[in-house]
């Protein structure tokens, strides 16, 4: 279940963040058909079944992403983040704060989640909204991938809780910093530790809780 816009970006971001594809160049085309069906055709040299067997997706149905997620995936090892990116805390504060103003549906209703990707200088690269927080993250990953922007140089801002699934997705594409208005769950903390990813929650005003690898955020 998802909000019905930026569907191409959602599909691309989801496949990247779950490890089914490694880049957008592996996609031949994306077709949307009636009854809410999306077909992604990969390049013929891609060994899809092998990719799928290494992924989490073949073991579950993907829900709306706000509850109902299986917990088995937290035993899986996430991809290690190798980025040396550092960001001033003021840039993180401003990036998360801007979600309240730039995310129009979130501002109007408070009933959706928003996610954004920024450079270390605070330049907005991608912004998306969705009823599901995982979907919003997938959408911004898809937007940045289409633009061919290096994820190593970006940080992710979100309005949602920081669960293990969110951290797994960010680490899979190499995003080194994830910050949110909301709380970090135990699963998110554990996944961030395994992934060498900087996790920050309750980013509000001039307050920030940094749970893992604080050296990337310059106070």
Catalytic residue list = 66
The answer to whether 158 and 137 are in contact (CB under 8 A) is yes
Residues 6+ apart with CB under 8 A from 6: 128, 139, 142, 143
Cα–Cα dist 68/108, whole Å: 27
Cα→Cα distances 217→86, 93, 185, Å: 6, 11, 20
Residues 6+ apart with CB under 8 A from 99: 106, 114, 115, 116, 157, 158, 159, 181
Which pair of tokens denotes residue 218?
A: 């310059």
Helix (H) or strand (E) holding 17: helix 7-17
DSSP-assigned beta bridge partners for residue 118? 124, 155
């Amino acid at each position: 279940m998802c909000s019905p816009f930026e569907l191409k970006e959602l599909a691309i971001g989801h496949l990247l963040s779950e490890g089914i594809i490694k880049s957008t160049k592996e996609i031949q085309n994306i077709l949307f058909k009636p009854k809410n069906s999306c077909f992604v055709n990969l390049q013929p040299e891609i060994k899809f079944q092998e990719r799928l067997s290494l992924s989490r997706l073949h073991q579950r149905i993907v829900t709306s992403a706000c509850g109902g997620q299986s917990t088995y995936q937290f035993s899986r090892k996430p991809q290690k983040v190798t980025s040396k990116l550092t960001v001033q805390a003021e840039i993180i504060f401003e990036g998360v704060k801007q979600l309240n103003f730039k995310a129009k549906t979130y501002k109007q209703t408070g009933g959706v989640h928003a996610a954004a990707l920024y450079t270390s200088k605070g330049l907005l690269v991608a912004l998306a909204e969705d009823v599901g927080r995982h979907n919003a993250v997938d959408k911004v990953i898809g937007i940045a991938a289409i633009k061919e922007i290096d994820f190593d140089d970006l940080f992710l801002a979100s309005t949602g809780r920081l669960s293990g699934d969110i951290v797994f997705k960010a680490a899979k594409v190499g995003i080194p910093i994830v910050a949110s208005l909301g709380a970090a769950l135990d699963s998110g903390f554990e996944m961030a530790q395994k992934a060498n990813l900087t996790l920050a929650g309750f980013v509000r005003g001039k307050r920030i809780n940094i749970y893992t690898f604080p050296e990337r955020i310059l106070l």
